[in-house]
Structure 1
Amino acid sequence: MTSKENISRQMKKIRSKDTKPELILRSSLWKHGVRYRKNFSSLPGKPDIAITKYKIAVFVDGEFWHGYDFEEQKKRLHHNREKWIAKITRNMARDAEVNQQLTEMGWKVLRFPSKEVIKETEKVTSVILEAIKNNT
């Protein structure tokens, strides 16, 4: 198997919804009595979790795809470097556009890196619960 075929196989495994971090966070919110819509397509960016009652949009972002610590990531890109830099830069710009659109619509936007959701689920849940408390 060539390197290109191997990368292609790996890319097919990447999920856009119902990822492990999303499931963990949704479960935690549900246990705290928070009711939400998942992958809410009525809003820009289709938030992973939309708490419609309080107008809170939550995104669980993959670190690579959304450019967390992007300057460090760039150093590790070797294959198709220019393509990946352009793609991730565009993703970051799209995230900013979506944040602005949602804010203009009166929504509070919360974004969390997926690793933070996994490692610090209660902390992330607390941030969301605090946002709900402040929106009541």
Structure 2
Amino acid sequence: MTVAESDERTDVLTEEQRRRCMAANKGRNTKPELLLRKKLWSLGLRYRIGHNLPGRPDIVFVSRRLAIFVDGCFWHRCPEHFRMPKTNHDFWERKISRNVSRDAEVTAQLAAAGWQVLRIWEHELRQDFDGVVIRIQRTIGQ
């Protein structure tokens, strides 16, 4: 076994612990999504969630044909914050690359169907929450 192979298999958790840890990662209703939705609702902006569109956008303004995705920095390869895990590199490279390519495909499908797409990084919400809200308000023409 080479050093690279042993590095790929090194994990401080057992296989069962890792499985439970990964299963606990939420794909919907994450804290950044909930904070943004709560703010938009408090401003009187009425949206839909769980709308049947490609990629299942996090927030949808149907009448404005606007789909909003709140993308996690790790899962969607944020150019500012993403760091590839040192263990199991090949697995993570394939997984994250699939996520990024799927994001591009979904954005293209929605655009082709006449939808406008906003992709918001989770770090944008932490760094400039009010700026993100203003950007959404401007996009929907309010």
Q: What is the RMSD of the two structures over their aligned residues, measured on CA atoms?
A: 1.9
Runs of 4+ in 1 over 4 A off after TM superposition: none
Partners of 1:85 and 1:70 in 2: CA distance: 17
Q: Is the 8 A contact 1:17 1:39 kept in 2?
A: no
Structure number with higher helix proportion:
1
Alpha-carbon offset, residue 26 of structure 1:
0.3
Partners of 2:80 and 2:132 in 1: CA distance: 22
Q: Is the 8 A contact 2:59 2:67 kept in 1?
A: yes
Match of 1:18 among 22, 29, 37: 29
Q: AA paired with 1:33?
A: G
Mapping of 1:1-136 within 5 angstroms? 2-40=13-51, 42-69=52-79, 73-74=83-84, 77-133=85-141
What residue ranges of structure 2 are gaps of 5+ in the alignment? 1-11
Q: AA paired with 2:57?
A: P
- Report sequence identity in percent: 40
Higher-Rg member (1/2): 2
Alpha-carbon offset, residue 72 of structure 1:
5.4
Task: State the TM-score, normalized to the length of structure 2.
Answer: 0.84
Q: Is the 8 A contact 1:24 1:118 kept in 2?
A: no
Partners of 2:29 and 2:82 in 1: CA distance: 28
Query: Deviation digits for residues 68-105 of structure 1, max 9, x if unmatched?
Result: 1289523xx21110110011011100000000000011
**For residues 26 and 10 of structure 1, do their structure 2 counterparts lie closer, same or farther at Cα, with a shift above 3 Å needed?**
same
**For residues 120 and 3 of structure 1, do their structure 2 counterparts lie closer, same or farther at Cα, with a shift above 3 Å needed?**
farther
Alpha-carbon offset, residue 10 of structure 1:
1.6
Partners of 1:58 and 1:128 in 2: CA distance: 9
**For residues 72 and 52 of structure 1, do their structure 2 counterparts lie closer, same or farther at Cα, with a shift above 3 Å needed?**
closer
Query: Which range moved further: 45-54 or 107-116?
Result: 107-116
What residue ranges of structure 1 are gaps of 5+ in the alignment? none
| Paired positions, count | 131
Partners of 1:30 and 1:70 in 2: CA distance: 29
